[in-house]
Amino acid sequence: MKTLEEFQKEDEKNRKKVLKKYPEKLKPCPFCGGKARIVVDDDFVYIQCKKCEVNTRYEDWEDIYADGPGVVISEGPGVLIKEWNTRKEK
Ligand SMILES: [Zn+2]
């Protein structure tokens, strides 16, 4: 059995991998202007505002590790970042 600490460590490691693969900057929260961050847990990735904690839908993240040139199974994190950074024109 893994301890909670081990899980947290793993999540942090995964988060770093995702951030490395998707270095695009996140815009501030559209609701409160707070800073956004990418959250990665065991199965999912999502974007959340640090201030009001609003978050995007969840996407799988693990498939981004499919190795081999040109093999992209999931664009999960990339899609979420694009969605988060998209603003409706007034
Ligand atoms: Zn917010």
pLDDT at 67 over 60: no
Per-residue confidence (pLDDT) for residue 30, from 0 to 100? 93
Taking the CA atoms of the chain, what radius of gyration do you get in angstroms? 14
Per-residue confidence (pLDDT) for residue 86, from 0 to 100? 92
CA 48–ligand 1 middle distance (angstroms): 8
Count structural domains, the chain.
1
Nearest Cα neighbor of 81 from 34, 22, 33, 28 is 22
Per-residue confidence (pLDDT) for residue 49, from 0 to 100? 97
Give domain status of residue 78, yes or no: yes
C-alpha pair distances (Å), 82 with each of 3, 26, 59, 75: 34, 9, 13, 11
Give domain status of residue 90, yes or no: no
> CA–CA separation, 22 vs 27, rounded Å?
14
Give domain status of residue 32, yes or no: yes
CA 88–ligand 1 middle distance (angstroms): 16
Which residues constitute the domain of residue 10? 4-85
- Tell me: the pLDDT tens digits for 5-58? 998 888 888 888 888 888 778 999 999 999 999 988 777 889 999 999 999 988
Place of tokens 């994190």: 77
pLDDT band at 71 (very low <50, low <70, confident <90, very high): very low
